[in-house]
Amino acid sequence: MDIDQHAEELASALGQDKEEVRQDLENLLEYSVPIDEAKQSVRRKYGGGGGDGGTPESKAIADLTPDGGNVTVTARVLSVGRRRIRYQGDETVIREGELADESGVVSYTAWTDFGFEPGDTVTVGNAGVREWEGEPELNMGESSTVALESETLDVPQRVGGERDLVDLAAGDRGRTVEARVLEVEQRVIDGRDGETTILSGVLGDETARLPFTDWDPTPELEEGAELRFEDVYVREFRGVPSVNLTEFTEVSPASVEVSDEAPEVDVAEAVESGGMYDVAVVGNVIEVRDGSGLIERCPECGRLVQNGQCRSHGQVDPDDDLRIKAIVDDGTATVTAILGREITEDVYGGTLEDALSAARDAMSREVVAEDVRGKLVGREYRVRGHLSVDEYGANLDASAFDETDDDAAARARAALEELGGDAEVGA
């Protein structure tokens, strides 16, 4: 839809002049206001509530759709997070989180402080429904109302934002975690208000480790500190969930157990989660992909070079490197384990220099990949690292790569052979 169509639709719904509505919309769009919010603002200006101007319909959460006009919803508040954003040139603090009723869960954004807390049962009147990351989201503005209900709505979901690190996912808001600061460093970035100091590092609890960014550096945040963080949000950073602390995050002392082990997960489960910072999977290497063994990298950007050509830097004098891209299958799904130079040297049983001299002797760089292929394919490994998912599939950037116990593998093979034999007899 172009702006003309939006203006026409809105003008006819509001019974207003199309040119005037169009002018209002254009003014808002100039401030980079998303079209849906611009339309909401124009609706408010002309006193229009829902899409058809009638009283908003009372709806179950499962029935909310982005094109159904404004609604009334009675729900339990699961979480409340605060975030400062820039909107129409002004800074404003929004509240965001999740609401639930018996039919389902919906996330919300409130542009005004309605004062509700997690656990409250509320009736939200005249709220808009927009689409956010493919799902309907309730949008509460100045024309919305929130009434506290005296009777508590029972919902199956957990009330409150408390979570273990392993349960956090990108898009979560208003979460509370208890964790130990495993690593922390100060960084100066170019923010929208000039140079800003932030903290970044890694948090750990008994279930997982996750990277974090503290946008409003907290003095208590030192390496080894065990802390409770109330009101954090989670977003994806380099393919994995990252915990974000803001000026609204309340930090207090806590006592936290931390596990040195990465959670061991099914590949299918890890892929489904969209990315995990530190996980382990156990599976068989079924293939060593092209681009493994001796490779060449651009000295400028580190990217793979083919025939001396970098995609960004053109003709370069490349650096030699070693790496392996191994496809690991655990029976639920496959993931490409990416092994850097150090682990590749372990697997190969020699250094980069050894590999280069083997390639010279054989007059082919491919001998290194072939050697590695012979060592890995068909064997079972435990791979630990950062798992990220993109349009091409799942990658596991390995920090550790160990063959599983030989005896166990042999027992598994024997058991499989036995099963195969039985199956043949049965058939």
Applying CB under 5 A, does 295 fall inside the site for Zn ion? no
Window of 112-120, 162-170, 294-302, 399-407 that interacts with Zn ion by CB under 5 A: 294-302
Residue 275, Cβ neighbours under 10 Å: how many? 23
Smallest CA-to-CA distance from 181 within 192, 157, 165 is with: 165
Q: How far, in Å, are 252, 253, 394 from residue 179 at the CA level? A: 11, 10, 27
Interacting residue with Zn ion among 298, 347, 383, 394 (CB under 5 A): 298
Q: CA 394 to CA 392: how far, in whole Å? A: 7
Interacting residue with Zn ion among 3, 62, 85, 301 (CB under 5 A): 301
**CB nearer Zn ion, residue 197 or residue 315:** 315
CB of 311 to Zn ion, least distance (A): 7
> Which of positions 31-90 make contact with Zn ion (CB under 5 A)?
none
- Residue with the CB atom nearest Zn ion in the bound state: 298
**CB nearer Zn ion, residue 62 or residue 301:** 301
SS3 content of the chain, % helix, strand, coil (to 5): 25, 45, 35
- Counting residues that bind Zn ion (by CB under 5 A) gives 6
CB of 260 to Zn ion, least distance (A): 37
Residue 424, Cβ neighbours under 10 Å: how many? 8
CB of 296 to Zn ion, least distance (A): 11
Applying CB under 5 A, does 310 fall inside the site for Zn ion? yes
**CB nearer Zn ion, residue 150 or residue 312:** 312
Query: Residue 301 in contact with residue 318, Cβ under 8 Å?
Result: no
**CB nearer Zn ion, residue 308 or residue 331:** 308
CB of 300 to Zn ion, least distance (A): 4
CB of 291 to Zn ion, least distance (A): 16
Window of 4-12, 121-129, 151-159, 295-303 that interacts with Zn ion by CB under 5 A: 295-303
Non-local (6+) Cβ contacts of 47 within 8 A are none
Tokens of 270: 């890890």
Interacting residue with Zn ion among 45, 158, 238, 313 (CB under 5 A): 313
Residue 254, Cβ neighbours under 10 Å: how many? 15
Applying CB under 5 A, does 319 fall inside the site for Zn ion? no
> Which of positions 337-396 make contact with Zn ion (CB under 5 A)?
none
Q: CA 164 to CA 176: how far, in whole Å? A: 9
CB of 59 to Zn ion, least distance (A): 53
Residue 28, Cβ neighbours under 10 Å: how many? 18
Q: CA 351 to CA 363: how far, in whole Å? A: 18
Interacting residue with Zn ion among 19, 26, 300, 422 (CB under 5 A): 300
Query: Residue 42 in contact with residue 2, Cβ under 8 Å?
Result: no
Sole residue written with tokens 């593998």: 409
CB of 309 to Zn ion, least distance (A): 9
Task: Name the phi and psi angles at 13, rounded to 5.
Answer: -65, -35
Interacting residue with Zn ion among 312, 361, 424, 427 (CB under 5 A): 312
Q: CA 347 to CA 201: how far, in whole Å? A: 30
**CB nearer Zn ion, residue 264 or residue 319:** 319
CB of 165 to Zn ion, least distance (A): 35
In terms of DSSP bridges, do strands 314-315 and 309-310 run parallel, antiparallel, or are they unpaired?
Answer: antiparallel
Report the interface residues with Zn ion, using CB under 5 A.
298, 300-301, 310, 312-313
